[in-house]
């Protein structure tokens, strides 16, 4: 299949991803040949016990860390053979990442946190602000645009982090336990918003697909598909 054809519907493809860590004298084989594909429009839950390798896999899929072996395609582009500059550009243009802890820049407002990644990608400040305000509106935080992260609640911080991850209209959204740090009620509200936003972006022609690690089986079941990390590989549930 040509890359162009691939790119029309597969936003993430992982083939034989391997990663080991040295642990004292021993070697810990965390990823032993992970295969996975996420399609545009699809919301895929990644589950598995603590220490199973979910974060390791998401960091590799998000081009934040390198694998020891295997192939990665992001929106039809071969990522695993790119140099650091190529990886950085692909990550910036095609991937949005949401962490368990918001990782917002503390000295900037909610609006600025969503504006900055767009300006880094070459969007004018004016256009970036229009997009940022629209996203803040959609996460229900239009009135908090000028607040710094410290002035926001945990749920609000995650909403801003989600809006930021979508700022550059990524093809792939990766989230590592995005509601793991929230109380159940807030987690529920943030997840509902997350789901709506991903579906809205996908429907709006952004061809967005998402891979979301979660401990919460109830939330996982509400996604389109659930995959589980087990003994270093992914199995469909
Ligand atoms: P999960 O997110 O599923 O809880 P992780 O991917 O964080 O799991 O970790 C998987 C395993 O890999 C754990 O045993 C962890 O201690 C180990 N690990 C993760 N990152 C490193 C690292 N940089 N160096 C050494 N060991 C690591
Ligand atoms: Mg983790």
Among the bound ligands, the one closest to the CA of 46: 1
Structural domain total, the chain: 1
Percent of the chain with pLDDT over 90: 82
Q: How confident is the model at residue 26 (pLDDT cuts 50, 70, 90)?
A: very high
Q: What's the pLDDT tens digit per position in 167-184?
A: 999 999 999 999 998 999
By the 10 Å C-beta count (0-12 exposed, 13-18 middle, 19+ buried), 133 is classed as middle
Residue 181 lies in a domain: yes
Calculate mean pLDDT across residues 32-56.
96
Q: What's the pLDDT tens digit per position in 87-123?
A: 999 999 999 999 988 899 999 999 999 999 999 999 9
**Is 214 close to ligand 1, i.e. is its CB under 6 Å away?**
no
Closest protein CA for atom 19 of ligand 1: 56
Q: 85 is in which domain, residue-wise? A: 10-104+171-236
Residue 126 lies in a domain: no
pLDDT for the residue numbered 8: 58
Q: What's the pLDDT tens digit per position in 187-206?
A: 999 999 888 888 887 777 66
Residue 222, domain CATH: 3.40.50.300
Residue 211 lies in a domain: yes
Q: Which atom of ligand 1 is nearest to the CA of 52?
A: 3
pLDDT for the residue numbered 4: 44
Residue 155 lies in a domain: no
Residue 23: CB atoms within 10 A of its CB come to: 9
Residue 114 lies in a domain: no
pLDDT for the residue numbered 133: 97
138: which 2 tokens? 């959609």
Residue 209 lies in a domain: yes
Measure the CA–CA gap between 119 and 126, rounded to whole angstroms: 10
Which residue from 17, 26, 55 has its CB within 8 A of the most atoms of ligand 1, so it is best to mutate?
Answer: 55
Calculate mean pLDDT across residues 2-22.
79
pLDDT for the residue numbered 206: 66
Residue 119 lies in a domain: no
Using alpha carbons, select from 26, 21, 14, 29 the residue that is nearest to residue 232.
29
130: helix, coil or strand? helix
Which residue from 31, 45, 53, 62 has its CB within 8 A of the most atoms of ligand 1, so it is best to mutate?
Answer: 53
Q: What average pLDDT does the structure give for the chain?
A: 92
**Is 48 close to ligand 1, i.e. is its CB under 6 Å away?**
yes
CA 177 to chain centre: 10
Angle of helix 110-120 relative to helix 125-138, nearest 10 degrees, comes to 130
**Is 53 close to ligand 1, i.e. is its CB under 6 Å away?**
yes
Residue 159: HSE in the Cβ half-sphere, 13 Å Cα cutoff: 27
Residue 23 lies in a domain: yes
* C-alpha radius of gyration, the chain, whole number: 17
Q: What is the DSSP string of 78-106?
A: E-TT--HHHHHHHHHHHEEEE-SS----T
2: which 2 tokens? 């040509």
Using alpha carbons, select from 143, 148, 227, 155 the residue that is nearest to residue 194.
155
């Amino acid at each position: 299949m040509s890359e162009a054809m691939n790119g029309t519907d597969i936003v993430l493809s992982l083939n034989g991803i391997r990663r080991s860590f040295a642990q004292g004298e021993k070697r810990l084989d965390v990823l032993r040949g992970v295969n996975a594909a996420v399609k545009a429009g699809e919301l895929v839950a990644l589950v598995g016990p603590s220490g199973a390798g979910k974060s390791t896999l998401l960091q590799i899929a998000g081009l934040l860390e390198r694998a020891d072996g295997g192939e990665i395609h992001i929106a039809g582009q071969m990522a695993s053979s790119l140099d650091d500059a190529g990886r950085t550009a692909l990550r910036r243009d095609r991937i949005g990442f949401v962490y368990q802890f918001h990782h917002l820049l503390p000295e900037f407002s909610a609006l600025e946190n969503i504006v900055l990644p767009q300006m880094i990608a070459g969007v004018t400040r004016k256009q970036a602000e229009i997009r940022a305000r629209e996203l803040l509106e959609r996460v229900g935080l239009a009135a908090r645009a000028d607040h710094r992260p410290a002035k926001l609640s945990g749920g609000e911080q995650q909403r801003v982090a989600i809006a930021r991850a979508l700022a550059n209209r990524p093809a792939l959204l990766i989230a590592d336990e995005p509601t793991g740090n929230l109380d159940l009620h807030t987690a529920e509200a943030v997840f509902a918003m997350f789901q709506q936003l991903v579906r809205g972006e996908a429907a709006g022609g952004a061809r967005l697909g998402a891979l979301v690690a979660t401990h919460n089986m109830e939330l996982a079941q509400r996604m389109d598909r659930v995959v589980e990390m087990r003994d270093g590989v992914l199995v469909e549930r």
